[in-house]
Amino acid sequence: MRIQVLIQVLAVLFLCTISTSAFQSLSGSLSGSLSVSARPLHLYSTSSLSSSNDNGNNDLNNDLNNDNISALQHPVPSLRSIQSAIEDLRNFDASRKHKLVSRGESSMTRIWDLQTWSRHQNANRYWRHLVKWPMSTTVRIVFPVVLSFVAWAIVFHNVRKRFLPNFTFDIAPLSLISSAVALLLTLRTNQSLGRLQEARLAWGRLVLHSRDLSSLLASYISPSQAEICGRHLLLLGWSLKARLRGEAEDDVIKLSLPPSDAEYIMSQRRRTVALLRRIRLIVASEVEDNNLDGSAHEAILLRFHELNACIGVSERLLGSPSPPTYTRHTSRVLLSWLALVPLGLESMSLSLPLICLWTTIVAYVMVGIDEIGVQLEQPFQLLPLNSLSAALMRDVVDEMEEGLKLKETHK
C-alpha cells in the first residue's frame, strides 16, 4: 500500500515538472514574438514612463508582458465603437449652466445649422421674442436687482410726499453721468464679445488641427501606431472641456484607453498635454525606426504646436478675466446712477405708477446690458463644448479609418 502511494506521488511530481518546463518554453516563445512586433504596445504602456529605477524595470517588463498577453486574449474595441460608446455617455451636456439657455430660442450653447439660421433671421422673430420675453434668462437673472430699485423708488416717493413736499432735483447732472455709464457698459460688452470670439476661434482651430493631425498620422506612420494615436487624440476635446468646465472625464478615458494608459493620463495634472505627449512619443519612435520622412515629421510637429496653442488660449481665457477693477467700477457707477433715477422722475411730478414703470424699464435695460457682458466674459459656459468635442472625435475617427483604408488599398 505504501509503495503504491509513493509511486503515485512520484508520478504527480513528474507531471508537474513537465508542465512547468512546457509553460516556461511557451512563455519564452510568446515573449520572443512580442518583443519583435510589440513596439507599439510598449509605447502604449504607461509603465515605461513611470519606472525610474532598476528594481522597477523588472515590474515594468512583467506589466508589459501581462498587458501584451491580455491584449491578445481580449481584442481592443475599434475606434468607431469607442466613438459610439462615448456619444452615448455624452449625449447630454450636464456641465452646462442651463439657467443661461433660453428655452425654444436660438442660443450660443449649440452648434447652428441652416434651419437655425433661417429661424433666427425670420422677420417674425420680433413677435416671437416679445411673446417669449417672460421666459428670458436675462429677465430671470436681473429681476431681483430691478425689483430692488422699484422698491427704492416707492420708498423715496412716500418719503418725499410726507417730509419733502417741495423737493426738486436737477436732471442735467444725471444726463451727463448717463453718457459715462453707457460708455462703461459699451467697452465692457465689446471686451466680453472679443473674449467669446477668441474662445470660439480657438476651439474651431482645435477641431481643425486635430483632424489634420489624424489624417497625417494615418498616412505616414504604421497602422498599429496610428490607431493608438487616434485613441488618444479623440479624447483631446473631452479632456479640455472637462478642464474648462470643472467636470470629470474619467469615464471616457477608461473607455478609450487600456487600464495602464488610462491610469497614467488620469494621474497627470494637465491631461490634455499628457495626451499630446503620448502621441509625440509614438511619432518619435517612428522617426527613430526611419518609418517617417522629414517633411511629414515637420508637418506633424506643426500640428502639435497649433494644438498646444489652442489649449493655451483656452487656459488663458479661463485664468485671466477682464480687469476686476473695471467690473467693480462699472457696477458702482451703474448702481449709483440707477439710485438717482427715481429722484429725477420725482422732480418731473410723475405719479407713482409711472415712476415705477420708468424705473423698471431703465433698470432692466442698463442692468441687463451689464449682466450680458458678465456672462460673455466667461465664454466656456456658453460655447457648445459638448458638440465641439463630439465633432472633434468624429473627425478624428473618420480621418483615421478612411486614411488607413486608403493606405491599405494602395499597398
pLDDT tens digits for 230-276?
Answer: 999 999 999 999 999 999 889 999 999 989 999 999 999 999 999 99
CA–CA separation, 294 and 291 (whole Å): 10
Q: What local confidence, expressed as pLDDT, does residue 411 receive?
A: 65
Q: Where residue 112 falls among pLDDT bands split at 50, 70, 90?
A: confident
More confident residue, 94 or 49: 94
Distances (CA, A) of 353 to 143, 256, 337, 350, 395: 18, 63, 20, 8, 59
CA–CA separation, 134 and 34 (whole Å): 67
Q: pLDDT at residue 72 above 80?
A: no
Q: What local confidence, expressed as pLDDT, does residue 109 receive?
A: 77
Q: pLDDT at residue 102 above 70?
A: no
Q: What local confidence, expressed as pLDDT, does residue 66 receive?
A: 45
Q: What local confidence, expressed as pLDDT, does residue 271 receive?
A: 95
Q: pLDDT at residue 28 above 80?
A: no
Q: What local confidence, expressed as pLDDT, does residue 356 receive?
A: 94
Give me the residue label for grid cell 450680458: 372
Q: What local confidence, expressed as pLDDT, does residue 8 receive?
A: 46
For 12: left if phi > 0, alpha if psi spans -120 to 50, otherwise beta; the answer is alpha
Average pLDDT of the chain?
81
More confident residue, 22 or 263: 263
Q: pLDDT at residue 5 above 60?
A: no
Top-confidence range, 17-26, 27-36, 125-134: 125-134
Q: Where residue 278 falls among pLDDT bands split at 50, 70, 90?
A: very high
Q: What local confidence, expressed as pLDDT, does residue 214 receive?
A: 96
Distances (CA, A) of 57 to 45, 51, 117, 235: 13, 6, 59, 29
What is the residue type of 137?
A: T
* Range of weakest confidence among 39-43, 179-183, 235-239, 293-297: 39-43
Q: pLDDT at residue 395 above 50?
A: yes
Q: Could you tell me what percent of the chain has a pLDDT over 70?
A: 78
Distances (CA, A) of 156 to 174, 175, 333, 365, 399: 17, 20, 20, 21, 68
Q: Where residue 362 falls among pLDDT bands split at 50, 70, 90?
A: very high
